[in-house]
Structure 1
């Protein structure tokens, strides 16, 4: 039996309608040797029922890693998912991000020892987020800029993320002013490197908690490759009721300490 290559770690919390669309986007990937690990930060029964149903409908294995709802504890559940993952290479994304059919192929092809990959997402308005069906994902219509515009998407430079091909993709990835960082909605790295940094700092809540781990990977000597215009995922619109200013301030302080002390490993991660 062929060894499992990639584990896709998807964080979620009480968005089963969006999560179902995300699941279907992985059913139609051209790269097939992967599992999905759901890092569930305390969702209710609706999410569990959805996952149990889809396990028999999709052609890839699913692990559902869950803990009780005790506020925003995404870093804790992500670390639990990392431990449970079976792949040697980990792709991280969110339960509101629909992956284009070549998403995993890009992550698999672009990976290199000594590097992690940094991608982005393409934000959709609520009306298009709600409109997208399983068939739209299967036919990849939701990644067609003309289909998106026909359904109300406004013109913007950011639309290049969807439409850019060939030399334009290369140029945009090379010269984008966006910081090369670990973005929880679209980044990947070798499991061994992530374990070496001790995973996510579990003191952190919303606001840069993913980037802090990336900063430790930098401190450990890893480099980063930009794949913003290669690995495409669509971000479905939703409210963020869990965002609190005190969370962001606390996280800024921890990130400052990581930078100042050039920390390669957190004492508050997978291994305590």
Structure 2
């Protein structure tokens, strides 16, 4: 791998989730150069997680990009992390994700100029999530997360049940549009800067799809790693979700597709004004 890479983990006050997420990054068959926490205002509960990780994995740099808690500002937190990164290639995760040990290797091996990569999530139910959080550990069994039972063919295929060449073929044949999946996507940092990062004016609901549209408007196309970079999503509530906001975001994204606009109106370039 002839480029530097950073995994940017969006996080907010979920220490038990974050601990498992960071563990899965550290246990990758091909590690990133560094990790950054894009922290949307977490309190002191996160600090022991960071200290423990640094003590356990001193050879994997972990930095924290934090701002004051003023409500849901995930896009701004991500932009701060991007602005502060010194790496060539960025992988975006959420703190509620456990990565398959070969997931980052797939992202890095498929990295190509003018492309972003997007995965998909295997959503875990509440019961298994609670078992994993209580144990603060996980195991792999026959290639997938131990204790997990797929719910339908789609979930089963996302767990990489066939040899890599077969799964890579499924990536290419997938009829699903490669929308930017913020919980497990990757892109060159220069391309993110080219579109001015995430849209800081957006609250929860589609902020990842929005940057994907602007990337495509700028000529940066998506490619699937839907079946070759498994990411398991731990269950949790979303008290911050607002249906009216989500609908407004959907309407804005539709307008964006038609307009061809590429620049975030409140993005990385505007950070100094916040």
Same fold (TM over 0.5): yes
2:56 aligns to what SS in structure 1?
coil
Report how far residue 180 of structure 1 moved.
Answer: 0.7
C-alpha distance in 2 between matches for 1:162 and 1:3? 28
- Larger displacement relative to structure 2 (158-167 or 31-40): 158-167
Change (3 A) 1:193 1:155: closer
In structure 1, what is the equivalent of residue 99 of structure 2?
A: 99
C-alpha distance in 2 between matches for 1:63 and 1:4? 19
C-alpha distance in 2 between matches for 1:136 and 1:193? 35
> Normalized against structure 1, the TM-score is what?
0.91
In structure 2, what is the equivalent of residue 77 of structure 1?
A: 77
C-alpha distance in 1 between matches for 2:32 and 2:182? 21
**Native 8 Å contact 1:142 1:148 kept in 2:** no
Q: Is 1:170 aligned to 2:180, yes or no?
A: no
In structure 1, what is the equivalent of residue 250 of structure 2?
A: 252
Q: Is 1:124 aligned to 2:119, yes or no?
A: no
C-alpha distance in 1 between matches for 2:68 and 2:209? 25
**Native 8 Å contact 1:98 1:235 kept in 2:** yes
C-alpha distance in 2 between matches for 1:33 and 1:123? 24
2:7 aligns to what SS in structure 1?
strand
Report how far residue 128 of structure 1 moved.
Answer: 1.5
C-alpha distance in 2 between matches for 1:17 and 1:229? 27
Q: Is 1:60 aligned to 2:60, yes or no?
A: yes
Aligned CA RMSD, in angstroms, stands at: 2.0
The number of aligned residues is 265
C-alpha distance in 2 between matches for 1:142 and 1:254? 43
Report how far residue 119 of structure 1 moved.
Answer: 0.6
Report how far residue 78 of structure 1 moved.
Answer: 0.5
1:52 aligns to what SS in structure 2?
helix
C-alpha distance in 2 between matches for 1:183 and 1:256? 17
Report how far residue 91 of structure 1 moved.
Answer: 0.4
Q: Is 1:182 aligned to 2:184, yes or no?
A: no
2:147 aligns to what SS in structure 1?
helix
After superposition, the C-alpha distances for 1:165-219 in whole angstroms (9 at most, x for unaligned) are 2344134323323221111011111000000100001110111111111111101
After superposition, the C-alpha distances for 1:139-179 in whole angstroms (9 at most, x for unaligned) are x349536x335xxx254212121142234413432332322
Report how far residue 33 of structure 1 moved.
Answer: 4.0
**Native 8 Å contact 1:204 1:250 kept in 2:** no
Q: Is 1:20 aligned to 2:19, yes or no?
A: yes
**Native 8 Å contact 1:4 1:35 kept in 2:** no
In structure 2, what is the equivalent of residue 236 of structure 1?
A: 234
**Residues 123-142 of structure 1 mapped to structure 2, 5 A cutoff:** 123-132=123-132, 133=135, 136-137=138-139, 140-141=140-141
In structure 2, what is the equivalent of residue 43 of structure 1?
A: 42
C-alpha distance in 1 between matches for 2:188 and 2:232? 24
- Larger displacement relative to structure 2 (184-193 or 252-261): 252-261
**Native 8 Å contact 1:119 1:228 kept in 2:** yes
> Normalized against structure 2, the TM-score is what?
0.90
**Native 8 Å contact 1:164 1:229 kept in 2:** no
